[in-house]
Amino acid sequence: MLQYPKEEKAVILDFLPNGYPFEKSGAIKFPIAQALGNFHFTLLELIPKKGIFLQPYEEIYIGEGKRDKIHHIKGRLNLKNLTQTASAELNFVIKDIIDKNEEKFVHFFNEAKPLTTRMHQIELLPGFGKKHMWQIIEERRETPFESFTDLKKRVKLLPNPKQAIIKRIIKELSGEEKHHLFTES
């Protein structure tokens, strides 16, 4: 199996300084944060260091070395286990990560490959069919795409690529998808 590098940074979706409200009343409650890894879009549950208060949209280091705000990573989260606040912020955080790393996502359109003889990675994006796939392949043969604007300009009637990627990431996080283009399975 292909090994992916671990998440180095994450963006806070929600911070619960008194832990989850639905935990047993006698249990010791620890502050907890729900976050999204900014490389593989991994949903994570984090335990901050004592006395640390985290803000939504704050980018924090969660890698192997010394962490200044996070004590440890409690584990992965499912989409259905996000708080209402984290769920509401998810689309905005994904959009922000895509905006900051547009080159990586444009690269997807320049390098996407067939999955089978009948299915191509591009077709897995919501709103992208065979017609768009062939237009993208023809255009990238001439010159690789440089930006989402370039992609929209050169491929006629193309759905918003950024929105399609956001929708695809959400579907992958929900566990509905067999093939993962942007998240780690």
| Token pair of 10 as six digits | 């994450």
Residue-by-residue pLDDT tens, the chain, 185 positions: 334 467 899 999 999 998 888 766 656 678 999 999 999 999 999 999 999 999 999 999 999 889 999 999 999 999 999 999 999 999 999 999 999 999 999 999 999 999 999 999 999 999 999 999 999 999 999 999 999 999 999 999 999 999 999 999 999 999 888 899 999 86
Count of alpha carbons within 13 Å of 24, Cβ hemisphere only? Answer: 3
Task: Please name which of 128, 52, 42 lies closest in space to residue 90, comparing C-alpha atoms.
Answer: 42
Q: Which fold has domain 101-174?
A: DNA polymerase; domain 1 (1.10.150)
Which sequence spans correspond to the domains of the chain? 9-83, 101-174
Task: Note the pTM of the prediction, 2 decimals.
Answer: 0.90
**Helices and strands, number each (H, E), in the chain:** 5, 5
CATH class in words for 9-83:
mainly beta
**Side-by-side strand order, sheet with 59-61:** 59-61, 9-16, 32-37, 43-48, 70-76
